[in-house]
């Protein structure tokens, strides 16, 4: 549990400095070879971390401490549903499918990948549109507290 949540925290701490850096760096500024290499290594490490380390720690935690094995049936045709983390059982005779704890573990791993992929695509779009946001902020006409445009005095 500690390893999984620590890996999530490290992922957040790795991604967090990108936002202040993007706000500080103007769009269209030429990039040097050294900056490109450093950025490439940094982004590669972030991708390795969020697609390799975090899901690995989830699968390890689910297999070891949570004990989500294939022989642990949570939902099945035998009429029993096990509520996760509690051990309570509920009689469900109408459910014709069988779902093991390992299947739920794998679905959670896929959801981790999907969330990170969605976040990665959002960050690409956010980075690429930072120049448009800066132009939009500059083009806004200053207004008074009453909403009227401010005029220059001659």
> Is the CA virtual torsion 66, 72, 85, 8 positive or negative?
positive
Which three-class secondary structure state does DSSP give residue 99? strand
How far apart CA 85 and CA 28 sit, in angstroms, is: 51
User: Quick one: which of 86, 95, 8, 91 has its CA closest to 53?
Assistant: 8
Q: What is the predicted pLDDT for the residue at 109?
A: 97
pLDDT of the residue at 78: 64
Q: Which pLDDT value is given to residue 10?
A: 98
Residue 141, pLDDT score: 72
Mean pLDDT by 10 residues, the chain (154 residues): 96 96 88 95 97 97 91 73 72 76 94 97 92 74 75 62
| DSSP string across 108-141 | HHHHHHHHHHHHHHHHHHHHHTHHHHHHHHHHSP
Exposed e or buried b for every residue in 108-119, given b needs 16+ CB within 10 A? ebeebeeebeee
- In this predicted structure, what is the pLDDT of residue 36? 95
Q: What per-residue confidence (pLDDT) applies to 37?
A: 98
């Amino acid at each position: 549990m500690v390893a999984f949540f620590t890996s999530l925290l490290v992922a957040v701490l790795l991604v967090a400095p990108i936002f202040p850096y993007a706000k500080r760096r103007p769009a269209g500024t030429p990039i040097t070879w050294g900056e490109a290499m450093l950025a490439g290594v940094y982004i590669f490490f972030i991708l390795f971390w969020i697609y390799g380390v975090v899901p690995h720690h989830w699968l390890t935690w689910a297999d070891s401490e949570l004990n989500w094995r294939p022989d642990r049936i949570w939902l099945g045709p035998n009429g029993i549903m096990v509520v996760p983390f509690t051990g309570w059982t509920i009689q469900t005779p109408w459910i014709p499918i069988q779902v093991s704890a390992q299947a739920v573990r794998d679905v959670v791993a896929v959801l981790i990948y999907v969330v990170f992929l969605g976040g990665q695509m959002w960050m690409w779009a956010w980075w690429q549109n930072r120049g448009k946001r800066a132009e939009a902020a500059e083009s806004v006409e200053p207004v008074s507290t009453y909403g009227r445009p401010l005029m220059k005095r001659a």
